[in-house]
Amino acid sequence: MQLMATKTQLATLFLLLLISATVHGRKPRSRSPCQQYVFYFHDVLFKGYNYKNATSAIVGSPQWGNKTAMAVPYNFGDVVVFDDPITLDNNFHSPPVGRAQGIYLYDQKSTYSAWLGFSFLFNSSDYVGTLNFAGADPLLNKTRDISVIGGTGDFFMARGIATLLTDAFEGDVYFRLRVDIKLYECW
Ligand SMILES: *[C@@H]1O[C@H](CO)[C@@H](O)[C@H](O)[C@H]1NC(C)=O
Ligand SMILES: *[C@@H]1O[C@H](CO)[C@@H](O)[C@H](O)[C@H]1NC(C)=O
Ligand SMILES: *[C@@H]1O[C@H](CO)[C@@H](O)[C@H](O)[C@H]1NC(C)=O
Ligand SMILES: *[C@@H]1O[C@H](CO)[C@@H](O)[C@H](O)[C@H]1NC(C)=O
């Protein structure tokens, strides 16, 4: 009995020491962004008839699906590769300032949810360089936060958070994402 209590006390003490070491060891960091951008990108999915206009294609589907229609239920198992124009406003026909290139894959069988891994490629008078993104995209949430995991060129070593908002969609053929980028590490 006595021994048990001592063990518990020791464990508690150790935990407290650990917590205080962690708290004091961490440098306080600013939560305000050092750089902010807003972009839009436009995705037109290939549906079997719109090859000319399509900017994305289903490249993998589950056994029960196919590559011209999203799988049922909830697109689960579909892997889509995209090469989408990036614009500064929400107009599909505005001159693109770059390309959003990468993949999204649907990874939940019980609701709409995707995982994103892509880059923004800029090579214009506005920006030259890349920004790289990764993260979970629970589509039914009005906004979704993903990570900005790095950058090159004008975005050298950038890190931060990108907040995604589905700005418009037409069935599963077209969607437009508003991307609010806040960088917390800038060089
Ligand atoms: C291509 O898709 C966009 C977005 O849905 C639409 O505005 C445009 O009219 C389409 N163009 C053609 C030729 O289908
Ligand atoms: C693909 O699947 C959709 C929906 O299940 C179906 O309507 C369509 O006919 C299929 N297309 C092909 C080419 O098998
Ligand atoms: C960027 O644009 C410049 C000038 O148009 C061109 O020389 C260069 O090859 C482009 N770079 C990439 C990676 O597309
Ligand atoms: C869901 O949306 C809310 C507000 O719109 C936001 O605070 C929250 O971080 C979002 N969740 C995820 C997982 O992105």
| Model pLDDT, residue 95 | 93
Determine the atom of ligand 4 nearest the C-alpha atom of 136.
13
Q: Is residue 41 part of a domain?
A: yes
Annotate 54-72 with DSSP letters as a single string: -SEEEEE--TT-BTTB--T
What pTM was estimated for this model as a whole? Answer: 0.82
| Model pLDDT, residue 124 | 87
Helix (H) or strand (E) holding 8: helix 2-25
Tell me how far the alpha carbon of residue 52 lies from the centroid of ligand 1, in angstroms.
10
* Ligand number with the minimum distance to the CA of 170: 1
Number of neighbouring beta carbons within 10 Å of residue 7: 10
Q: Which residue has the higher pLDDT, 6 or 152?
A: 152
Residue range 128-180, pLDDT digits in tens: 999 999 999 999 999 999 999 999 999 999 999 999 999 999 998 999 999 99
Determine the atom of ligand 4 nearest the C-alpha atom of 146.
14
Sole residue written with tokens 């939560």: 31
Domain that holds residue 133: 32-185
Number of folded domains that form the chain: 1
Q: Kindly report the average pLDDT of the chain as a whole number.
A: 90
Pairwise CA distance, residues 131 & 150, whole Å: 6
Confidence band (pLDDT; 50, 70, 90) for 28? Answer: confident
Strand partners, 155: none
Q: Is residue 3 part of a domain?
A: no
Q: What is the CATH number of the domain that holds 69?
A: 2.40.480.10
Decide: 26 and 15 in contact? Cβ < 8 Å: no
Is the CB of 112 within 6 Å of ligand 1? no
